[in-house]
Amino acid sequence: MSQVRVVVETLQSGLPVLVFDDYSREAEVDLIYPAWSVGPEEIYDLRVNAGGLICYATDSTITLALGIPWGDELLASYNSILKLLASRRLGYGDRPAFTIWVNHVSVKTGISDTDRSLTVRNLDDVVRLYYEGMVEEAKKKFYTEFQAPGHVPILAARRLEERRGHTELGIALTRIAGLRPSIVFAEVLVKGRSASLDEARDMARKRGIPLVTGSDIVRWCYEVEVCRGS
């Protein structure tokens, strides 16, 4: 069975994959789940066995259509001091993928595994409505059922030609798998640092999780012609 088929079938089954971006970028590995499959156990897995910031992501065309601003633009619009902070970039040079942070109104405090999974599943429902053409229903759900700031950051994927972070690579995988663009992910950490690719490969072998690279994803994406102009 080809690697792409393994990854596609894994995601379609609601199971996670590991994604390494590139040595020329962050050189980090993220554990990525399709958002529709995420419950308290999956948030626990991301929190304990990955350890990085647990993020929700969808496509920027959806966040912009919903009226959700980019985080750096929101800060820059507030005052000149925050604009200065928002103008800076980390070493790999990309603009951040962050928009805003939210909780679903049904949560207690927002931070528990159960609470974060509730927020994630409801964000996925917003994207599902949008993806199925019910744009006004998606907007209504988002603006009546969420509170900000909260405990789940919403990240928005730009086009692969603009940015090739884990946000974009994860969303590209959903396109390849024929799924709606809706994922939850966290970087894999070890004590004091990011996990190396070899350490992530060891995790992949022990858990039976497919591990793919950013270059694999970009190649597959263009081979199946689902990311052109995305």
| Domain of residue 49, CATH code | 3.90.870.10
pLDDT at 1 over 90: no
Q: Yes or no: say if 186 and 46 are a contact pair by the CB < 8 Å rule.
A: yes
Query: How high is the pLDDT of residue 230?
Result: 47
Q: Is residue 219 part of a domain?
A: no
Q: Is residue 80 part of a domain?
A: yes
Residue 180 DSSP label? -
Place of tokens 């993020």: 55
Q: Is residue 206 part of a domain?
A: no
Q: Is residue 19 part of a domain?
A: yes
Domain span including residue 89: 3-191
Q: Is residue 7 part of a domain?
A: yes
> What mean pLDDT, rounded, does the chain reach?
93
pLDDT band at 92 (very low <50, low <70, confident <90, very high): confident
Q: Is residue 211 part of a domain?
A: no
CA angle, residues 225, 57, 168, in degrees to nearest 5: 40
Q: Is residue 201 part of a domain?
A: no
The string of pLDDT tens digits covering residues 24-67 is 777 799 999 999 999 999 999 999 999 999 999 999 999 999 99
pTM: 0.94
What's the structural domain count of the chain?
1
